[in-house]
Structure 1
Amino acid sequence: MDRKLVVRHLGRVEYEDGLQLMQKLAKARDEGRAPDTLLLLEHPPVITKGRGAKPHNVLLTDEELKARGVDLHETDRGGDVTYHGPGQLVGYPILDLKPDRQDVRRYVRDIEETIIRTLAHYGVEAGRIPKWTGVWVGEESDPAAAKVAAIGVHIKRWITTHGFALNVIPDLTHFDMIVPCGITERGVTSLSRLQGRLVDPDEVAKVAAARMAEVLGWPLEERGFDLETIAVALLRPAAGEPEVLVLRRTEARGGFEQIVTGRIEAGETPAEAAARELTEETGRNAPLHDLRYVHAFGFGDEPLFIREHAFGAVVPPGTEVRLDPGEHAAAEWLPLSAALARLPFAGLRKAVERTAALPVLRR
């Protein structure tokens, strides 16, 4: 068969948005609308529980995790409890194993081999320990043996989702919040610790993509983002908690709720696009605050791969807006907590939370 591996380097992806993207892409792959694709990305701090997870392997309460800014998600992948966070290279291969690779063990070995060859590129000798999942540095008999990559997969109709997490330069103390993969006998390590220097995850991502294509025996094709967009969270002070402008798109445009969003047009900077979209969608001008928050997500059934730059703006109490009826059917000023409950994408909620934390709202 004429196969190829398309790789998408996505950068930061909120875990919830990543799950949605995987599901959409897996459906598109199953229906022949998308190619075999490797998503390479980074999640903010999150603990995930696989199908075999034991509750006691999460060592902190929900309240303690929330206080540390760590999300907790149950997933349909195999395995126990895993941590993801900044400095970790996460790989989600969305592949159709039909007709010639319909072997679960072979597929897991292929992922292991991809990571082993990636580490070998940096002069690190890694391998497998049969009784434990993942990729390891050191032998089973060595008390100092440590896991450098976790693996957890899901396969339905021979379409793969989830994948691997390679520790490049994460904060290893974050693994103290869990019993990683339920293994108490050994610890975890990272490529940077093994190298004795800081290694760039983006650099490792390129190596990992090439090694996976090599293991699969398929040519590699790199693709960028389909769209670059902006999001603007517009807030106004109010008694109790600030209010957030939530817009409902017309049915022709999806009918879902969002904050101000829009495309970055040719020749525009993200800040210029944000200012233009704010005026066009609300009839208001307000000083913009760059939230230093860029994330990626998937949109639609295709799906489209989108990178979004987030901004915040604050207007005086009682401010009203003017809608573009061709784009939005309604607008509401909602209390912060209600707005967060209504917005469908985790990335949009993060933009609202960051705007709510701006000093201008605390004066």
Structure 2
Amino acid sequence: MDAYKLPESALVVIHTAELEVLLIERVDHPGFWQSVTGSKDDPSEALEETARREVQEETGIVIGSAQVPRAALSDWDWQVAYEIYPIWRHRYALGVTRNTEHWFGLLVPREIEITLAPREHTAYIWLPYVEAAARCFSPSNRAAILQLPARMTPRISR
């Protein structure tokens, strides 16, 4: 192994204006569906950069392109800490058992081309957000997707 993963990651809920969510299936665990997620490359990497990099690596979507402007990525300003699944702990330094995940949303057109990273994911699917949440294996990913309608609604100051 070249280096251990850092226990800080970005989760990006890729969605359409109609609240359809893109899910991708893991190569190493068929049937495990998830949103784009990945760890920081180094401690100094900004979380927004982690989100942009992971989206491009895992789906081929380039944030900052004509089709997906930078403003389409929104930092939900939310984080959760969770226990790293035992099957993936070997990727982290000895004794690291928890990860802090930061949530982002990415609004894209439904017809956007998806190019999966073949070493990471085997398939993708667009689903209405409630169905997408139900299909995710990760409780934090489910919770993030279920927040989508509230994250899409403009907040009114009172």
Q: Work out the CA distance in 2 between the residues paired with 1:329 and 1:360.
A: 33
Deviation at 1:244, TM superposition (A): 0.5
Check whether the contact 1:312–1:352 (CA below 8 A) recurs between aligned residues. no
Higher relative contact order (CA 8 A, sep 6+): 2
Cα pair 2:76 2:151 within 8 Å, conserved: no
The question of 1:351 aligning with 2:144 is answered: yes
Structure 2 counterpart of 1:291, from 58, 66, 76: 76
Q: Does 1:310 align with 2:103?
A: yes
> For residue 231 of structure 1, what is the aligned residue in structure 2?
11
Q: How far does the alpha carbon of each residue in 1:299-322 deviate from its partner, in whole angstroms, 9 at most, with x for none?
A: 232753111111001111322311
Alignment partner, residue 194 of structure 1: none
1: distance between equivalents of 2:108 and 2:153?
10
Matches of 1:250 and 1:244 in 2, distance apart? Answer: 19
What is the identity percentage for the equivalent residue pairs of Structure 1 and Structure 2?
A: 34
Where in structure 2 are the equivalents of 1:61-76 lying within 5 Å?
A: none
Residue deviations 1:15-50, cap 9 Å, x none? xxxxxxxxxxxxxxxxxxxxxxxxxxxxxxxxxxxx
The Cα of 1:337 is off from its aligned counterpart by 1.6
1:280 counterpart SS class: helix
Alignment pair present for 1:276 and 2:56: no
Cα RMSD of the aligned pairs, angstroms, is 2.1
What's the counterpart of residue 130 of structure 2?
Answer: 337
Give the total of aligned pairs: 132
- Partner SS for 1:317: coil
Distance 1:310 1:274 in 2: 9
TM-score (norm 2): 0.75
Cα deviation, 1:274-321, whole Å, max 9, x if unaligned, reads 011111111112421111110011223275311111100111132231
1:301 matched to 2:79? The reply is no
Q: Which residue of 1 aligns with 2:34?
A: 258
Q: Which residue is 1:248 aligned to?
A: 25
* Distance (whole Å) between structure 2 residues aligned to residue 317 and residue 263 of structure 1: 26
1:360 Cα offset (Å): 6.9
In the TM superposition, 1:148-297 aligns within 5 A as 227-238=7-18, 242-251=19-28, 254-255=29-30, 256-266=32-42, 267-284=44-61, 285=63, 286=68, 287-297=72-82
CA spacing shift, 1:343–1:261, aligned 2, 3 Å: same
Q: Extract structure 1 runs of 4+ deviating beyond 4 A.
A: none
Please say which structure displays the higher CA radius of gyration: 1
Partner SS state of residue 110, structure 2: coil
Q: 1:131-169 deviations in whole A, cap 9, x for unaligned?
A: xxxxxxxxxxxxxxxxxxxxxxxxxxxxxxxxxxxxxxx
Asked whether the 8 Å contact 1:230–1:309 carries over to 2, the reply is: yes
8 A contact 1:289–1:311 mirrored in 2: yes
Post-superposition offset of 1:359:
3.4
